[in-house]
Amino acid sequence: MAVEAEAAARELRATYATGKTKSFEWRSSQLKAIQKIVSLHSDEIVEALRSDLQKPEFESVVHEISGVSASCKLALKELNRWMKPQKVKTSLITFPSSAKIVSEPFGVVLVISAWNFPLLLSLDPVVGAIAAGNAVVLKPSESSPATSSLLAKLVGKYMDASAVRVVEGAVAETAALLEQKWDKILYTGGGKVGRIVLSAAAKHLTPVILELGGKCPVVVDSAVNLKVAARRIIAGKWCANSGQTCISPDYIITTKDFAPQLVNALSAQLDKFFGKEPLRSKELSSIVNIHHFNRLVKLLDDDEVSRKIVRGGERDQSNLKIAPTIISGVSTDSLLMDEEIFGPILPIITVDQIEECVGVINAKEKPLAAYLFTNDKKLEDKFVRNISAGAMIINDTVIHFFEAGLPFGGVGGSGMGAYHGKFSFDAFSHKKALLKRSFAVDISARYPPYTPGKRRFLRAVVQGNLLDILRSLYSCW
Amino acid sequence: MAASVSVSVVPAAEGLRAVYTSGKTRTYEWRVSQLNAMLKIATRHEKDFVVALNSDLGKHEHEAFIHEISAVTSACRMALKELHRWMKPEKVKTSMTTFPSSGELVPEPFGVVLVISTWNYPILLSLEPVIAAISAANAVVLKPSEVAPAASEAMAKLLGQYMDASAVKVIEGGVQETTALLEQKWDKIFYTGNNKVGRIVLASAAVHLTPVILELGGKCPVIVDSDINLTVAVKRLISGKWGCNSGQTCVSPDYVITTKPFASKLVDAISSELERFYGKDPVNATDLSRIINSRHFERLTKLLDEDKLFGKIVIGGQRDKTNLKIAPTVILDAPLDSLIMTEEIFGPLLPIITVNDIRDGIDLITSKEKPLAAYIFTNDKKLKEDFVQRVSAGGIAVNEVTIHLTDPALPFGGVGESGMGTYHGKYSFEAFSHKKPVLYRGFTGEISARYPPYTTRKLKFLKAAMSGNIIGIIRALLGW
């Protein structure tokens, strides 16, 4: 596997050196190839996602396939504009001159994907890498093997193998890849491996984008349209891969007084969405594997937690399914509030005053997303000003992911860097500063021998003070 | 010894975090007060800095003012002028997918940041990142380079005197202090220096998932074509090399590439302009900075004295060990595997490599690591285009050297081995800000297609909505 990693890096580097991937034609041909993959093979993709995650067809199509398709479409539409150098207005100091910022690819990049949205989180970064003119190696997650193998097959079939390669495998293959030198790495996954990726990248001074996770809080104020709020929370939690989503609501904060109403509303909507026997619903993803299933069940069966379950708790080990579960009145030092849950369990923390939510959230690592349901402008303002997160939504959950005008990424423990839309192109581009001057005007004040007169002149130029410039021009050097 | 170093570093870092958490640094007023304090330091104490730079580097007052102090005051003034605009959230037009909604990007500080500076422009490379950090509302620790002790001491004293010490601290020291600092958790680190220590900084940052800006160096090449205004080109070349701290500058021309027939003309032109600038005894010219210390002096003389360079020194070569001075030196056709062509020179030695076809120069450059800057002197439009297209570098200047970093409209930073991230102008503010996207929705505009039970019709609608396909949306809504 070390051989495969090394060969991939070497071959792609040779291809990149030819300049092939920089042309507009190559980039758009590859973007079109990705579009073909998701449109001509959507049935196989849905099948693979079903095999890996029991993901409902609806989620597969709306979250993953449409997501990739929309990214390709946007990139193809905007590529010319994105590739154009950006003219920049220069200052007096460099007068006369012209300047631009030129976007160029980093070179050969590595994308390491995750298992929960194995198609989207593989191809979306690849779209960005290609749009920016890089050669790219994609390492899909081994925890979603059907999708991984399908990606290897389809990318191998439709894309330019001399510059776009899928390398499958697990820990050993990933380690082998991380030993190679890459010009940029984009990693999606957990903080522990994120640190390993950063350490490996440090050896080669490789810049890295880390899309990690965190505990995404949802604060629910009382004077809200509770039905709509409940539906939107459910959509972001259980309609997104059974809560196995980096931006899923992880926990709720609401007031002690309001909690029972909120629980009732969530319960009522859950009935509407998944019926009375959610474990049998085809519209709920299963837990990805037995390891995560056991992890979640352990959380559920903790004494402190199990007696506070107000909804759900049922599980079906043979199908790796856990029902939508809500736990109310959880304390901030419970096991559930320790790590990112990444599953269909939703704890509710209750406070006396809703403003206390800021303290609760800020006591933890900065999350990838933070949500607030409220009609109170003051609370909204306080929330936005005082809490740092990768992103925020007021009165909804997760939907910012599909807004191409917003950069998607974390801060602090939830990651670094961002992508989506134009930010994907920027993520994989080096913005090279370019200054052009002619030989015409040459200011001898720069040159030795250094004299006070020259200094006076330069001081005036630096301060942009036209009068002083003229004055000093009249004194002799 | 290490324990006592940690003892002072840890409470400093913790203290800053408590102050940051109080929200003090977030206000416009605090930021402005600190920027004004910094402006006072740079204007009232210009002389103190000039003296310190002369002591540390033998830097002439002219360079001290133009390269360092004036750049600090310009950065302060620009930040003060633009701060309101930079702090304002940037509205984002939202699409059909999230309709109805509005969006904005809200800049916020990272929190508590660490700036590690270097010795060659010790005032500039300490204070400019600090100005950036402050304007973005971070609390900041500055670790100046111990290799420039007078500048380090001056900054510790003046920042301690004028700035809000609860949120802006200078921690002086050497390797131990830096190591102790790197063990703490920072919300961002800004490092200027070499790529060996850059790797250490990145590795330490990895432990805490801290994002890092690295301003490193590299071998900045200059291609000199034949059909140009040679006098102007050479003056600019000299000014960027020897007029910038005797070549001890990350963006100084490191080596020159020109064609074999043109080389002697180039050497002659350099020789005569050098004499015009520095006189007949350049080793003793006061306009030239000295080499920073004996360690670097030894390093540079070792480069010069390598056997491979024997007989190839065409200008200069004189040195004065007592005063740590080396004359402007030009070497013609040093072998590509010589030490001087493999390491970053960072000194007053300029190799000229000759090629048959000027275009071969681009191949030579691209065979090496990406430099912080790359330069070309030419009037040939095609060659210019080729150079810009094929040479990847932090920044490129055509018919000029080094001056591109003085323009605040251009981002300044490296790529590959020369670094990551940028600053200057508004990029400084952005370097120390997290741009947080916020999406605002109301409770109206419910898209029930999102919710289970999932139907084909809902699917059709969502697919259309996601691709902005208005007709598709209408059709789905009508049940077609």
pLDDT by residue for chain B (480 residues), tens only, comes to 455 666 688 888 889 999 999 999 999 999 999 999 999 999 999 999 999 999 999 999 999 999 999 999 999 999 999 999 999 999 999 988 888 999 999 999 999 999 999 999 999 999 999 999 999 999 999 999 999 999 999 999 999 999 999 999 999 999 999 999 999 999 999 999 999 999 999 999 999 999 999 999 999 999 999 999 999 999 999 999 999 999 999 999 999 999 999 999 999 999 999 999 999 999 999 999 999 999 999 999 999 999 999 999 999 999 999 999 999 999 999 999 999 999 999 999 999 999 999 999 999 999 999 999 999 999 999 999 999 999 999 999 999 999 999 999 999 999 999 999 999 999 999 999 999 999 999 998 788 888 999 988 888 888 777 776 777 777 777 765
CA dist., res. B35 & res. B13, Å (int) = 22
Q: Give me the phi and psi of A440, to 5 degrees please.
A: -55, -65
**SS3 assignment, position A99:** strand
Does any CB of chain B come closer than 8 Å to the CB of residue A56? yes
Asked if residue A249 lies in contact with residue A218, where contact means CB atoms within 8 angstroms, the answer is yes
Cis peptide before A347 (omega within 30 of 0): no
A-B contacts at Cβ under 8 angstroms: 285
Tokens 């903790």 sit at which residue? Answer: A302
pLDDT for the residue numbered A440: 86
Contacts of A439 in chain B (CB under 8 A): 228-229, 232-233, 379, 399
Burial (CB count <10 Å: 0-12, 13-18, 19+), residue A192: exposed
Q: Catalytic site residue B244? A: no
CA of B32 to nearest chain A CA: how many angstroms apart?
A: 19
Q: How many CB atoms lie within 10 A of CB A323?
A: 22
CA of B161 to nearest chain A CA: how many angstroms apart?
A: 26
**Cβ-nearest to B209 among A210, A406, A438:** A210
Q: Catalytic site residue B215? A: yes
- Work out whether the CA dihedral B228, B230, B231, B232 comes out positive or negative: positive
Cis peptide before B100 (omega within 30 of 0): yes
Q: How many CB atoms lie within 10 A of CB A9?
A: 22
Q: Which of residues 291-350 of B touch A (CB under 8 A)?
A: none
- CA dihedral in degrees (B404, B410, B414, B419; nearest 10)? 130
Does any CB of chain A come closer than 8 Å to the CB of residue B427? no
**SS3 assignment, position A141:** coil
Within chain A, which residues score under 70 in pLDDT?
1, 465-466, 472-477
pLDDT for the residue numbered A183: 98
> Which DSSP category does B454 fall into?
P
The two counts, helices (H) then strands (E), for chain A are: 18, 18
C-alpha angle A359-A251-B452 in degrees, rounded to nearest 5: 145
| Closest C-alpha to A329, from A236, A221, A251 | A251
CA dist., res. A140 & res. A153, Å (int) = 12
Does any CB of chain A come closer than 8 Å to the CB of residue B408? yes
User: How many CA atoms does the CB half-sphere of B213 hold within 13 Å?
Assistant: 28
Please judge whether A413 and B209 are an interchain contact, meaning their C-beta atoms are less than 8 angstroms apart: yes
Tokens 């390797």 sit at which residue? Answer: B175
Q: Which of residues 253-282 of B touch A (CB under 8 A)?
A: 277-278
Q: How many CB atoms lie within 10 A of CB B298?
A: 12
Task: Report DSSP letters for A387-442, one per residue.
Answer: ---SEEEES-SSGGGG-TTS-B---GGGEE--BSTHHHHHHTEEEEEEEE--SS--
B470 residue type, one letter: I
The residue in chain A having the minimum alpha-carbon distance to the alpha carbon of residue B195 is A205
Contacts of A195 in chain B (CB under 8 A): 206-207, 209
Q: Which of A246, A340, A357, A365 is catalytic?
A: A246
pLDDT for the residue numbered B223: 98
Cis peptide before A217 (omega within 30 of 0): no
Query: Which H/E stretch holds residue B472?
Result: helix B470-477
Per-residue pLDDT reduced to its tens digit, A279-294:
999 999 999 999 999 9
**Cβ-nearest to A231 among B397, B404, B451:** B451
CA dist., res. B137 & res. B109, Å (int) = 5
Strands B313-315 and B329-332: antiparallel
For residue B215, list its beta bridge partners: B192, B419
Structure tokens at B143: 């670790």
CA dist., res. A408 & res. B55, Å (int) = 49
CA dist., res. B174 & res. B448, Å (int) = 62
